[in-house]
Chains A and B, each alone.
Chain A
Amino acid sequence: MTAADATVAIEADGLGKRYRRGWAVEDCSFRLPAGRVCGLVGANGAGKSTLIRMLAGLARPTAGRAAVDGRAPDGNDPEFLRSVGYLAQDVPLYPRWTARAHLALGAALNPAWDQDLARDRLDLLGIPLDQRVEQLSGGMRAQVALAVAIGKRPRVLLLDEPVAALDPLARREFLASLAVLMAGHDLTVLLSSHLLPDLERICDHLVVLVEGRAVLADDVDEIIRTHKLVRGPESARRALARRHRVVDDDSAGPVASAVVRLQGPEPDPACELHDLSLEDIVLAYLAGARAARTVPDLALAGAGEGR
């Protein structure tokens, strides 16, 4: 752990947002160390956009508190806006403006604007500066939006599904741009996405949202190290639920089979352990939450103890 890792860039503490229909985000708590790229995943309607909008200072929390780069999010606080960049889902550009005009606007609005950083990125990618952005490809538009977001040299960048609308190559290029920025600057990124393989490449931290709550928030290597698929005889099932956190149980008949977060000693030697990809692990959290809603289950009832 370096010193940079010790600083917290984003903190949510019991954060909640209630709309007329109910809680979009509820009792959401997690901490993101500075210098990380954090993926935010969850089913549609899990509250990802609402959470990001609260962190960006665009939605006021109903409960709890948040801090981004040490400040309470406030869309009217110039200091806050200087240090936090936000890119909404539907790439917010003026269709009839050129990329050059967007950069000029960025320069006019931001005292600390870094024109070289913004401009070099577009030059490097061969993006024409003098065409209306509506004539550019989706991938180029996303890169222009990223250049505008990064030009003000934010310390935290919040991206809501930045690559959802892009083709695979444009997506890869966008993430590569983000990675290069991370390598050269003191920057923390939180990005939401459904594309788990992308997140597996670019993220070193992950937050899983289920019904507005952060059910998992940790370092990716740590997540992969501690989560296993455990299979064994039915008799091992109860001990498994007692000692470890069962994320998703799909035991059937005589076979106990569950995705667990290992806590302490390894399970019964009668059980076999299988490694899981980040995608498998995230899916287990989403599936486990669904199962918990429908069938109260022995193993899942034990799952709460570990928390």
Chain B
Amino acid sequence: MIPLRLDSGSGVPPYLQVAEQVRHFIVSGVLAPGDQLPTVKEVVATLAINPNTVFKGYRELEREGLVEGRPGAGTFVLRRPDGPRPGDLASLGRALDRWVAQARAAGVDDRAIEAMVRAALRAGGDEAEAIA
């Protein structure tokens, strides 16, 4: 079974944590189209979490069109999400490394860097919503 985990106290709702991890396994190719996701029972037996959390996480992925629940059979991967190509990710990562080095050189500590990133993500989210 793919190793799911739960980060208690992160402030991220558990169902989104489940969805995010499964999505990551699909993006990275650990789970391919046609593969079955672990059953709800399997997940709750190892994680000791609420079954509704797993249902809800899987439903989120279903909504995104990544997986499909087949009654009585389980939940299966449909397709990989549209996302950045691995090459783009690598070059964005390198650009971020350079930016972090610049910020540190300017005397910005890690905590402030994290706050800046969060603020930028929030601002970006507002823009995206405004466009939509």
Contacts and interface: CB of A to CB of B under 8 A. Distances in A.
Interface of A: 35-37, 172-173, 175-176, 178-180, 182-184, 197, 200-204, 220-221, 224-225, 275-280
A225 B14 CA distance: 12
Contact of B8 (A173, A182, A197, A276): A197
A47 B91 CA distance: 58
Contacts of A279: 9
B48 A197 contact: no
A179 B11 contact: no
Given A180-B41, A183-B41, A221-B15, A200 B9 contact: yes
A183 B10 contact: no
B78 interface: no
Contacts, number: 68
Contacts of A197: 8-9
Given A35-B52, A200-B14, A204-B53, A179 B45 contact: yes
Contacts of A183: 40-41, 44, 51
26 contacts: A35-B52, A36-B52, A37-B50, A37-B52, A173-B48, A175-B48, A176-B46, A176-B48, A179-B48, A179-B49, A179-B51, A182-B51, A184-B41, A197-B9, A200-B8, A200-B14, A201-B47, A202-B49, A204-B50, A204-B52, A220-B13, A221-B15, A275-B12, A277-B8, A277-B10, A278-B9
B45 A201 contact: no
B29 to A, nearest CB: 28
B116 to A, nearest CB: 13
Contacts of B52: 35-37, 182, 204
A176 B44 contact: yes
Contacts of B40: 183
A202 B48 contact: yes
Nearest to B115: A272
